Amino acid sequence: MNVCIKKLMVWLSLWALVGSALAEPFAPGGAIGSQTDDGYNALGPVVEQPFEFPHNVHAGQMGINCMYCHTYARRSAVSGIPRLDKCMGCHKLIESVKDKPRIKKLFEYWDKKEPIPWKKVHDLPDFVRFNHERHIQRFYFREKRSIRETCGYCHGDVASMTTARRVKALSMGWCISCHQKEHLENASTTKTSNGPNDCWQCHK
């Protein structure tokens, strides 16, 4: 009898483990808030930026295309963090917000002639090769989806955040789950294909 219960317990705990392992990559936003002492949450390290950049104002209220600042996304593996003169190109001319604390901070860096030390939020392991160009070319330029949707697959709805944070798992199983789906090849066709299934496409 005792053995029987023990066996049952082992099976139950095993199933619980399997269940949690399966559920984890697709965990909803609830777990994100809980941060451990070493600066990690369920999705990876929590990154503190030098100051709060309001994506919600730029991409949300103003409706600026992500690629206006993240210029390289459409033609390179990395999307790029804009240079300070990109910020200043507009903000030199926008008088109405010049007294706001965040803009003052921006001008401080400009006067010191120093770049803003932005931290990387969506940092993949070194053995992974992710290419922005391929995804942007496919979904934004060929399939003509909106930029908010295209970038949002991996970055979440950045237009509703201030500084960007990780909201997707960015794990291999999560990538594969999308690569296995059928996607339209371009906007004017019903032909579909899925993402590459070969290790060396992403691993290097």
Partner 1 sequence: MSLSNLIKNWSSLRVRRPYEGQYKGKDYKWAMVIDLDACTGCNACTTACYAENNLPVVGKESFAKGQAMHWIRIERYWGPGDHMTEEFPQRGAQFLPMLCQQCEAAPCEVVCPVGATHHTPDGLNSQVYNRCIGSRYCSANCPYKVRYFNWWQYPERAWPNPLELQLNPDVTVRSKGVMEKCTFCVQRLTEAKNRARTENRLVADGEVTTACAQACPTSAITFGNLANEKSTVAKMWQAHQIKLASDVQEKDDTVRGYRIFEDLRTYPSIVYLEQVRDLEA
Q: Is 94 in the site for partner 1 (CB under 8 A)?
A: no
CA pseudo-torsion sign 89, 62, 153, 188: negative
Per DSSP, 141 falls in state I
Interface stretch with partner 1, choices 6-14, 129-137, 145-153, 157-165 (CB under 8 A)? 129-137
> What's the rounded Cα separation, in Å, for the pair 63 and 82?
17
Residue among 26, 48, 52, 75 that touches partner 1 (CB under 8 A):
75
**How many angstroms separate the Cα of 57 from the Cα of each of 3, 71, 99, 114, 186?**
62, 19, 16, 24, 31
Q: Closest by alpha carbon to 143, among 104, 191, 96, 99?
A: 191
Interface stretch with partner 1, choices 25-33, 46-54, 82-90, 130-138 (CB under 8 A)? 130-138
Q: Is 133 in the site for partner 1 (CB under 8 A)?
A: yes
Q: How far is the CB of 74 from partner 1 (least distance, A)?
A: 9
Residue among 134, 153, 160, 189 that touches partner 1 (CB under 8 A):
134
Q: Closest by alpha carbon to 134, among 68, 166, 179, 199?
A: 179
Residue among 49, 137, 162, 171 that touches partner 1 (CB under 8 A):
137
Beta-bridge mates of residue 44:
41
Helix, strand, coil percent values for the chain (each to nearest 5): 50, 5, 45
Q: How far is the CB of 171 from partner 1 (least distance, A)?
A: 12
Nearer to partner 1, 95 or 126 (CB): 126
Residues interacting with partner 1, by CB under 8 A? Answer: 75, 77, 125-127, 129, 131, 133-134, 137, 176, 180, 197-201, 203-204
